Amino acid sequence: MPVKGQRDWKSLFYRRNRRVDVIHDVSFTVREGEFIGYIGPNGAGKSTTIKLLTGILYPQAGSIRVLGYEPHTQRYEYTYHIGVVFGQRSLLEYDIPVADSLSLYRAIYELNERQFAERLEEFTAMLDLGDLLHIPVRKLSLGQRMRCEIAASLLHRPRVIFLDEPTIGLDALSKHEIREFLRRINQQEKVTIILTTHDMDDIEQLCERIIFIHVGHIVYDGPLNTLKNKYVTRKDVEIVYDRPVEIPPAFEPLVHRRDRNTCTFRVDRHRTAELVPKLLALGPARDVSIHEPRLEDVVKIMYSNGAAL
């Protein structure tokens, strides 16, 4: 029985549920040994796709097959053949040394002592783990931890590895080391890698094929260069002259940026060979550089266009 003066708020607050489909009709095929960049804006469905492919989530409709397995129904057998790294979620035990966590994974994946020792020696050399193995994970820097995380995910020689933001928050040197390691593993062991990231340098340096997802739909699936050619129509030609030069009216619309003796012209990418000699003829020049469009610029254009391909 309610106390006198006490209000019953149940009539004012109540829960309302709404179903939201995160991805729609997403379909793609990956060949063995491919290194694929899976990109898109926040909320596009990238992480959801990875969770479906790894068996963490199950699809409401459609089907998923990876290496002949259905991830959400054959998860036990399937996990012996894949590796997963979530940049914002650790695979390693926080309070124990890295070596102990790796030993735990050795037991989980049923590796014998010889297999484990060989793999650990290999990764120690490739990822420079020697001084890290006996340090508790909580005392590692982010870059050190990610090197150990990737080693743990590849310990059992998986055929496919899923990487969700593996270089998030890392410094330039740590990113370079991880990129080089992933490139070597992909080339030497033919491991199929699917990478999701907001770092376009990761994609540009590692992936030949990209899949672009936007609002739950795949809007592009193909070579990186093809995407650049479609969306970027101009190149930047930067010329350092010996002295300030006068820009004729015909070339004035091409001037993108000017600073004393340096002038950057934005030219039609199909007319670069025709225009560069004419721009160099404006005055004595010390240096010239032509900047190709970066993936980051392409993605910005796609976002601004609502990813309408």
pLDDT digits (tens, 9 = 90+) for 213-264: 888 888 889 998 888 777 778 889 999 999 989 999 999 999 999 988 999 9
Nearest 10 degrees: Cα torsion 30, 31, 36, 38: 0
Range in 116-130, 159-173, 175-189, 295-309 with the lowest mean pLDDT: 295-309
Strand order across the beta sheet in which 82-86 lies:
82-86, 160-164, 192-196, 35-39, 209-214, 217-223
pLDDT of the residue at 306:
55
Q: pLDDT tens-digit profile of 96-109? A: 999 999 999 999 99
Whether residue 20 contacts residue 171, with contact meaning beta carbons closer than 8 Å, is answered with no
pLDDT of the residue at 40:
84
Residue 97, sorted as left (phi over 0), alpha (psi -120 to 50) or beta, turns out to be: beta
What value, to the nearest 5°, has the Cα angle with vertex 61 and ends 17 and 194? 105
Residue 275: count other Cβ atoms within 10 Å of its Cβ.
16
Residue showing tokens 């095929």: 29
Residue 111, sorted as left (phi over 0), alpha (psi -120 to 50) or beta, turns out to be: beta
Q: pLDDT tens-digit profile of 150-184? A: 999 999 999 999 998 888 888 888 888 899 999 99
Range in 15-29, 96-110, 131-145, 292-306 with the lowest mean pLDDT: 292-306
- Nearest C-alpha neighbor of 269 from the set 302, 236, 307: 236
Quote the pTM value: 0.78
In whole angstroms, give the CA distance from residue 250 to residue 253. Answer: 7
- For the chain, give the mean pLDDT: 86
